[in-house]
Structure 1
Amino acid sequence: MSCDEETDRAVCGALEAQLAGVAGQLLLRSEELVAAQLRVVGAIGSYRAVPPSEVRPSAHRNVVRVVAALRGAEHPAAGAVEEDERETGRRRALQGIPSADVLVAYRRGIALLRDEFLRAARAEGLPADAALVGVQRIWQVGDRYSNDILAGHRKTGFDLVHREGQHRRMLLTRLLEGTMTTEQVVTAGVGLGLVVDRDYWVLRARSAGSDPVTLTRELERAAGAQDTVLIGAYRGDAAAVLSRPVTAEPAGDITVGLAGPAGLSRLGGAFAEATRLLEAAIRFGRGGVVDRGRMALRLAVADERELGEYLHARYVEPVSAESATGEALLASVETYLSRRRSIPEAAAALSVHVNTLRYRLARFAALTGADLQDTETAFEVWWALQYRNLCGSPM
């Protein structure tokens, strides 16, 4: 029975009087009911770190609101009440209490008050229909204010994540650009695993087909579980400081320059190396994860421009002048060198007959005077071809 639907005012009046009587008994026991709520909430694992004094005001508000609801009265300042619960949600978020536990705690407190209402109702001999109305009103209180608690918790949680993300991005940028002292890094890196007596790996990644956010997520996947994971967007690329090198190859057209290990005081220099490795790898058409071991010779080619120009003039330009066959000759020589100077393997890779390849190699030798069986000469030719690849083809 609901008094909102009942036309017999006398019956409704009697029901309200019965509910008000039980509500008055609950109010007299408010301290006892607050203490009981503290016990059930304290049994939730995450709440053990929350002082009872932090929970007591919420428990007391629960008693007052349940009593007011049983009496059929709206709270005199609904807006303030809702803000109280949002503030409760905010405080629990700041204390690190998960939203699910916050909701469980609130529901348990309301359930305790419901059970106490039913005990008092039975002791007073309330009719079943009056007890049902009372239970409905109590649950309406729980439904109404639990939403406010969760709203406050969610907003604060979002703000915390946003601020943490900003902190991580700022710290990553300053680490990579070398604008922090070691002491500042350690202080700012509390909780991120950054310590003085440890080495780290630094990387910079780029992809023509992925935006920095997608690129960052792919790096997180490739990095896997780490003690230190500091990954974020950096000037259109993605960058990271990790406790271990990346072992999994990133998906797609991603190129990663990886440098390390390096201590905290040398992270800026390691990032400069990672950037140099990345840019060299892209210019040479290399993908995946590249480190100094994989790029050492090509970095030398990129750095020694005067030598590269000399070798290019000696071994590439005479062949490029053969406009009809020059490109085919140079591609054949490069494939031959990359296949350990094996004519059968190189011919198969080029999809040509071995005699065709022999002719091309002989033609290259005639134009340049290079003996590709001589290891030193073969290395000079390789250097010239890599310089050609670096600077563009044809030159």
Structure 2
Amino acid sequence: MEDVRSVTPADSADGKPTERWEELLDRLAADAEAISDRTAEKLLATIPGYEEVKAESVKQSSLRNSALTIRLIKAGAQPQPADLPEATMLAEERISQHVPLGSVLSGFRTSLSDILQHMVDLGPEYDIDPRRMLRWSTMMWAINDVFSTRATLVYRDHEISQAVADSVRRSEWIGKAVAEGAPMSELLWGAAMYDVPADAPLRALAAATADNPDAEKKIQEWARRAGVRVLTSVRPSVIVGIVIGRPNLSVAGPNFAIGLGGARVLSKLYLSYADASLVLKAADGLGLKSVVKAQDLTWKLAIHSSPRVTEILAKKYLDPLRESGEFAQDIIESLQAYLDNQMNIPAAAKSIPVHVNTLRYRLRRFEELTNTHVGDVRTLIEVAWVLEAIKKDF
């Protein structure tokens, strides 16, 4: 940028008055108090967002702007971000006063406009060449651009920090909401803060984060489809959620297991989370990839918590099949079809599909190898257990 202090030479020898630009700047410094009074009155009357800002605070920022203008004009160089520490100071001050960024930028422009207008009015008195005044005007709008950039960065950094802090507070509250023994005062504080009903039924949610980098996003997508709102907190190995509203469980899930607890009020939400955690572990162990409630699994919940029972049943019903080699898989397939079709042999055979006699032969072979009878209720229960336990790997 051209040195704003330089002008086309003009002196008294050719009949032109000599510029007294340094005197004008001194006069500007002397008049800064009056300028700040006018700026404060105008700014507070016309720019929204300054409701919590006192007039004295605006006056002080206007005085700083006058000093900034004089300093940079005398420096005579293109302003750089490092030349405007005032931008950081003002932005931080206005953030504490809850003034929006747009209002801050408008306020700064108003202040600069008042300073520039005062300089223009003084120009003839001090014989300022119009070209010099034009350069000063250009510099002041360059100051505005640099100020706007720096103030915007301060606001952005503040918003990021605020968002992180809010996320941490919300995550901590969700953790307390699903934990037994949380003080009711803290629960009610969070309920008011995050628009969570304290007396209406809520559901806790649990989902594994392993192998699901976008799990939280997919949960929110499912929530929108299911017609509910979900507050989530990502923990090292699990996503904890609070479901607000009654979800439509007929919509497709996010293609990974989600445990959903029973409906409870906020003060009893820890019971819902206990259910959700149990359901998640069971659903994951069974290889399910959907939103699952305890009612969906019933007795299958016990498979995860009773691995020793699975070992005993596998020894009883699966080990004897090993001598059949690959035919063992055909037997297991037929058993599963038989159970899935309510012991209806024609329907089971059609579902695989195989001939009815083939299915009967496989079931009979199973009975021979295990010395059991598939018509026995106890056998059916135990076979159903062990087949569910191995289904994930089957």
Task: Identify the residue that residue 236 of structure 1 maps to in structure 2.
Answer: 237
Superposition deviation, residue 190 in structure 1: 4.3
Query: Which residue of the other structure, out of 284, 297, 300, is the alignment partner of 2:299?
Result: 297
Task: Identify the residue that residue 372 of structure 2 maps to in structure 1.
Answer: 368
CA contact (8 A) 1:280 1:299 kept: yes
Superposition deviation, residue 115 in structure 1: 4.5
Give yes or no for the alignment of 1:217 onto 2:217: yes
Superposition deviation, residue 22 in structure 1: 7.3
CA contact (8 A) 2:7 2:131 kept: no
Task: Identify the residue that residue 387 of structure 1 maps to in structure 2.
Answer: 386
SS for the counterpart of 1:285 is coil
Say if 1:256 and 1:321 are closer, same or farther in 2 by CA, change over 3 A.
same
Query: Which residue of the other structure, out of 42, 52, 63, is the alignment partner of 1:60?
Result: 63
Distance in 2 (CA, whole Å) between partners of 1:201 and 1:303 is 23
Distance in 1 (CA, whole Å) between partners of 2:26 and 2:63 is 14
Distance in 1 (CA, whole Å) between partners of 2:32 and 2:209 is 67
What is the one-letter code of the residue matched to 1:232? Answer: S
Task: Identify the residue that residue 330 of structure 2 maps to in structure 1.
Answer: 328
Task: Identify the residue that residue 134 of structure 1 maps to in structure 2.
Answer: 136
Question: Mean alpha-carbon deviation: is it higher for 153-162 or for 143-152?
Answer: 143-152
Task: Identify the residue that residue 91 of structure 1 maps to in structure 2.
Answer: 93
Superposition deviation, residue 205 in structure 1: 0.5
Distance in 1 (CA, whole Å) between partners of 2:34 and 2:48 is 24
Task: Identify the residue that residue 350 of structure 1 maps to in structure 2.
Answer: 352
Task: Identify the residue that residue 24 of structure 1 maps to in structure 2.
Answer: 27
Distance in 2 (CA, whole Å) between partners of 1:143 and 1:393 is 62
Structure 1 unpaired stretches of 5+: none
Distance in 1 (CA, whole Å) between partners of 2:245 and 2:82 is 51
CA contact (8 A) 2:20 2:127 kept: no
Map 1:177-326; keep pairs closer than 5 Å.
177-211=179-213, 214-224=214-224, 229-244=230-245, 247=248, 249-252=252-255, 254-300=256-302, 302=304, 322-326=324-328
Distance in 2 (CA, whole Å) between partners of 1:108 and 1:349 is 78
CA contact (8 A) 1:315 1:381 kept: no
Distance in 1 (CA, whole Å) between partners of 2:294 and 2:145 is 61
Query: Which residue of the other structure, out of 175, 178, 188, is the alignment partner of 2:177?
Result: 175
Superposition RMSD on alpha carbons, in Å?
4.2
Question: Mean alpha-carbon deviation: is it higher for 302-311 or for 182-191?
Answer: 302-311
Superposition deviation, residue 175 in structure 1: 2.8
Task: Identify the residue that residue 36 of structure 1 maps to in structure 2.
Answer: 39
What is the one-letter code of the residue matched to 1:370? Answer: V
Superposition deviation, residue 41 in structure 1: 5.9
Question: Mean alpha-carbon deviation: is it higher for 53-62 or for 79-88?
Answer: 79-88
Superposition deviation, residue 278 in structure 1: 0.1
CA deviations over 1:18-48 (Å, ceiling 9, x no partner): 4743772685264355443553465444444
Distance in 1 (CA, whole Å) between partners of 2:139 and 2:172 is 50
Say if 1:207 and 1:153 are closer, same or farther in 2 by CA, change over 3 A.
closer
Normalised by the size of structure 1, how large is the TM-score?
0.77
CA contact (8 A) 1:201 1:243 kept: yes
SS for the counterpart of 1:265 is helix
Question: Mean alpha-carbon deviation: is it higher for 255-264 or for 134-143?
Answer: 134-143
Structure 2 unpaired stretches of 5+: none
What is the one-letter code of the residue matched to 1:384? Answer: V
SS for the counterpart of 1:204 is strand
How many residues are paired up? 382
